[in-house]
Amino acid sequence: MAHETLITQTEGATLLIRLNRPEALNALNATLMRELVEVLQAADADSAVRVIVLTGSEKAFAAGADIKEMAAKGFADVFFDNLFGAEAQAIAAIRKPIIAAVSGYCLGGGCELAMLADFILASETAKFGQPEINLGIVAGMGGTQRLSRRVGKSKSMDMHLTGRFMDAAEAERAGLVSRVFPAEALIAETLKIAETIAAKSMVTAMIVKESVARAEETSLAEGLLFERRMFHAAFATADQKEGMNAFMEKRRPKFQDR
Ligand code: CAA
């Protein structure tokens, strides 16, 4: 299906989604958010897709919510529309692993979108920021909560209060980004990592995603209980039997996603 603001491409079992509004540095407008949710939900329901990669251009992953679309709105407009609420919840509810591959500007809603992915890979050119304060607003798609959990209160407060940008090296040191690659290698390296994940048992990968996500969403006690129960539940799968038997028999496992 053709999209106005996205380019999608299938690479083996990976769906690569490129944000594509070059005229606005991939700013997140209503059309892009609607199309992105549609594509992600379709991928989640498509058994041929095992991993999703979300990326932008070399210049920008996304420079934030579309300021031109928001500028004239008042409180009641954005409150009644629940601006970004339904979309952010829909993206957070995707059950398959999502990797954000970030080059260039990753600001405001762009940074929040990257944090809605399961982990972030960055190129050396990536610049992260929550500069909403410069527009007289606060982050609205999870930035104050997710950035604080990823990089700690001090750096999160610094980013939100000053609106400064953080480069890829700082983002990796701070734990926002898991690995950094040269810009020209980012997509190829990301696709290799996606392929590694796609080769795992799908059921186990989805259990892992749900469990790690709980670390951010619940208290430690609830998260540990959830993790333990999911750990126990994994013993009900055929892939657990296969994985452990293969280990003991010193051979590669043949997973069936069951
Ligand atoms: N919304 C709409 N249009 C945007 C945009 C945005 N967030 N960011 C960039 N653009 C547009 C520019 O208006 C410009 O369009 P025109 O050529 O028609 O003027 C085009 O993209 C290129 O941008 P610049 O000329 O500004 O490029 P630059 O290289 O000089 O600067 C930049 C790049 C530093 C990223 C700068 O564009 C910028 O500061 N953008 C805004 C960043 C921002 O404030 N993001 C937060 C938005 S609010 C938000 O995201 C709320 C939320 O939490 C949900």
Q: How many CA atoms lie within 13 A of 234 on its CB side?
A: 21
Q: Is the pLDDT of residue 182 over 80?
A: yes
Helix intervals (H) in the chain = 30-45, 67-70, 75-81, 85-92, 109-116, 143-151, 153-162, 168-174, 186-198, 202-217, 220-234, 238-248
Given this model, what pLDDT does residue 217 score? 83
**pLDDT (tens digit, 9 = 90+) per residue, 79-106?**
999 999 999 999 999 999 999 999 999 9
Q: How far is the CA of 110 from the centre of ligand 1 (A)?
A: 11
Please indicate, yes or no, whether the overall pTM of this predicted structure exceeds 0.75.
yes
Given this model, what pLDDT does residue 225 score? 82
Chain mean pLDDT for the chain: 95
Tokens 């050119």 sit at which residue?
125
Q: Is the pLDDT of residue 54 over 80?
A: yes
Q: Could you confirm whether 109 is annotated as catalytic? A: yes
Q: Tell me, using a 6 A CB cutoff, whether residue 165 lines ligand 1.
A: no
Q: How confident is the model at residue 228 (pLDDT cuts 50, 70, 90)?
A: confident
**pLDDT (tens digit, 9 = 90+) per residue, 201-223?**
999 999 999 999 998 888 877 87
Q: Is the pLDDT of residue 233 over 90?
A: no
Among 109, 129, 140, 142, the active-site one is 109
Q: Rounded to 5 degrees, what angle do the CA atoms 40, 23, 85 make? A: 40
Q: How many CA atoms lie within 13 A of 118 on its CB side?
A: 23
Given this model, what pLDDT does residue 147 score? 94
Find, among 13, 16, 11, the residue nearest to 197 by Cα. Answer: 13
Q: Is the pLDDT of residue 234 over 80?
A: yes
Percent of the chain scoring above 70 in pLDDT = 100
Given this model, what pLDDT does residue 224 score? 73
Given this model, what pLDDT does residue 222 score? 83
- Ordered DSSP codes for 212-231: HHHHHHS-HHHHHHHHHHHH
Which token pair is 163? 């609106």
**Ramachandran area for residue 237 (φ above 0: left; ψ -120 to 50: alpha; else beta):** beta
Tokens 């994985």 sit at which residue?
243
Q: Tell me, using a 6 A CB cutoff, whether residue 97 lines ligand 1.
A: no
Q: How far is the CA of 202 from the centre of ligand 1 (A)?
A: 38
Question: In terms of pLDDT, which residue wins out, 219 or 114?
Answer: 114
Given this model, what pLDDT does residue 223 score? 73
Q: Is the pLDDT of residue 248 over 80?
A: yes
- Per this entry, what is the length of the chain? 258
**pLDDT (tens digit, 9 = 90+) per residue, 235-247?**
899 999 999 899 8
Given this model, what pLDDT does residue 39 score? 98
Pocket probe for ligand 1: among 32, 58, 67, 81, the residue whose CB has the most ligand atoms within 8 Å is 67
Q: Is the pLDDT of residue 227 over 90?
A: no
- Rounded to the nearest 10°, the torsion over CA 68, 22, 58, 119 is 60
Find, among 35, 30, 26, the residue nearest to 3 by Cα. Answer: 35
